[in-house]
Amino acid sequence: MTDHLYYHDSFLYEFDAEVLAVTPSDSRPAVILDRTAFYPTSGGQVFDTGWILSGENKIRVVEAEEKDDGTILHFVEGNPKLEPGIRIRGLIDSERRRDHMQQHSGQHVLSAAFIRLFNAPTVSFHMGDEYCSIDLDTKILTGDQIEKAEALANDLITQDRPVAIRFVTPQEARGLGLRKIPPVERDKLRLIDIHDFDLTACGGTHVSTTGQIGCILLRKAEKVRQGWRVEFVCGKRAVATARHDYTTLSEGAALFSSHLWDLPQQVRKMQEDARASRKSGEQLLAELAELHASRLLAETPETSERKVIVAIFSDRDLTFIRLLAQKITRLSATAVALLAATSNPPALVFAQSPGQPFDMGSLMKEALARLGGRGGGSTDLAQGGPAQIDGVQGVLTDLTARLHR
């Protein structure tokens, strides 16, 4: 088992150790040391990265993982050229470690705040690259509760309370009123003690006073299967997130030449305007279709007691030609309309006035057999999306000839 130096000192960023083994893996070589300050992924906190120095060699540690027996694997880049017995110096990426400490200690403060205020226990903790989250065992969680928990957590941070690491036996732990006791039995439990606020069993790396967390910013809250998930960011991540939010909001506000706090109101107004425009556009289109229908019916002579209208539009879409077909067959009791729109995507609509003897569905099938694409419909109305529109004039002319027979 590797000696876990980070159990006793979260601020140990450099250490000396001896190489015990290098696991023979071509794709992912891993170094095993007698002692390490590299934190392996565990308890919601993600692994440290850093370097192993050996003579002139600077070997990049990309991940650390703990095996069931307590051995820690340091996955390294390239071919490490390390032999058992060699002394090395380990360097932790301290920026990354400090970020993890801010997030993890922040989580303890936040979880304790949710217990104190609303008796809502934390059932899991996730640390992501951008944000962290806890799952709370609670049926409801309001925006007001979120603000109150955030405020209490930040009060604890400004009070800069000491955070101590303690080791106790399971028997001792039982009398201490821990927020969380791990399910596995161990000889010694490691406790993280936030003075007079929270006492929890945890193996993670933590700040030494709550002030080092910096701040906590709560963000999205969503209902999940077993309760509520609350996203949060601490310390420098909180500042970076707030900066990102501000930039985004400012860009949005600039588009409306408004203050960023007025952005929701501006967006609502724009949505209303867009709805009104859409409605008037639809009305105009219907009126235009009606005019087109009247004109086409007036221009088309009756042959064999019916009017066969064939029209191809290069600047209209399916919606318009369908509307036009409906208007034509409503305005005239003896009309058959074969309409095409060549715009992208191209469309066909065939329609006849009720009582006319043809079958628009089978005419559409014939047209699409020649042009490709999909479509269909009933005897009175059919529509299709041809795969290609070249030659549509010839197809419609052929179909028209059959209608006059």
Residue 182 Cβ, how far from Zn ion at the closest point, in Å? 10
Residue 96 Cβ, how far from Zn ion at the closest point, in Å? 17
Return the number of the residue (105 or 300) whose C-beta is nearest Zn ion: 105
Site string (303-342) toward Zn ion, x via CB under 5 A: ----------------------------------------
Number of residues that bind Zn ion (CB under 5 A): 2
Q: Which stretch binds Zn ion (CB under 5 A): 7-15, 76-84, 147-155, 196-204?
A: 196-204
Return the number of the residue (121 or 385) whose C-beta is nearest Zn ion: 121
Is 106 an interacting residue with respect to Zn ion (CB under 5 A)?
Answer: no
Is 201 an interacting residue with respect to Zn ion (CB under 5 A)?
Answer: no
Whole-angstrom Cα Rg for the chain: 36
Return the number of the residue (31 or 101) whose C-beta is nearest Zn ion: 101
Is 216 an interacting residue with respect to Zn ion (CB under 5 A)?
Answer: no
Cα pseudo-dihedral 159, 160, 166, 172, rounded to 10: 0
Residue 102 Cβ, how far from Zn ion at the closest point, in Å? 13
CA distances from 326 to 145, 155, 283, 314, 319 (A): 56, 68, 15, 19, 11
Contacts of 175 (CB under 8 A, 6+ apart): none
Residue 186 Cβ, how far from Zn ion at the closest point, in Å? 15
- For residues 153 and 198, is the Cβ–Cβ distance under 8 A? no
Residue 5 carries which DSSP code?
A: G
Residue 181 Cβ, how far from Zn ion at the closest point, in Å? 12
Residue 280 Cβ, how far from Zn ion at the closest point, in Å? 59
Residue 111 Cβ, how far from Zn ion at the closest point, in Å? 9
Q: Which stretch binds Zn ion (CB under 5 A): 34-42, 199-207, 209-217, 227-235?
A: 199-207
Q: Which two tokens stand for residue 273?
A: 């305007």
Q: Which two tokens stand for residue 15?
A: 């250490």
Return the number of the residue (127 or 202) whose C-beta is nearest Zn ion: 202
Return the number of the residue (202 or 311) whose C-beta is nearest Zn ion: 202
Is 178 an interacting residue with respect to Zn ion (CB under 5 A)?
Answer: no
Residue 100 Cβ, how far from Zn ion at the closest point, in Å? 11
Residue nearest to Zn ion (CB): 202
Q: Which of 202, 238, 328, 360 binds Zn ion (CB under 5 A)?
A: 202
CA distances from 297 to 62, 146, 177, 285, 394 (A): 76, 66, 88, 18, 22
Q: For 304, list phi and psi in degrees, rounded to 5.
A: 50, 40
Return the number of the residue (122 or 300) whose C-beta is nearest Zn ion: 122
Q: Which stretch binds Zn ion (CB under 5 A): 11-19, 54-62, 200-208, 218-226?
A: 200-208
Is 377 an interacting residue with respect to Zn ion (CB under 5 A)?
Answer: no
Return the number of the residue (177 or 357) whose C-beta is nearest Zn ion: 177
Tell me the torsion sign for CA atoms 180, 184, 187, 190. Answer: negative
| Number of neighbouring beta carbons within 10 Å of residue 174 | 12
Is 204 an interacting residue with respect to Zn ion (CB under 5 A)?
Answer: yes
CA distances from 344 to 137, 307, 316, 347, 366 (A): 52, 29, 9, 8, 21
Is 234 an interacting residue with respect to Zn ion (CB under 5 A)?
Answer: no
Q: For 378, list phi and psi in degrees, rounded to 5.
A: -100, -170
Return the number of the residue (136 or 321) whose C-beta is nearest Zn ion: 136
Estimate the crossing angle of helix 360-371 against helix 392-403, to 10 degrees.
150
CA distances from 272 to 66, 159, 255 (A): 57, 48, 17
Burial of 46 (0-12, 13-18, 19+ CB in 10 A): buried
Return the number of the residue (50 or 204) whose C-beta is nearest Zn ion: 204
Residue 391 carries which DSSP code?
A: T
- For residues 101 and 91, is the Cβ–Cβ distance under 8 A? no
Which H or E run contains 150? Answer: helix 143-158
Residue 16 Cβ, how far from Zn ion at the closest point, in Å? 28
Q: Which stretch binds Zn ion (CB under 5 A): 165-173, 177-185, 195-203, 271-279?
A: 195-203
Q: Which residues bind Zn ion (CB under 5 A)?
A: 202, 204
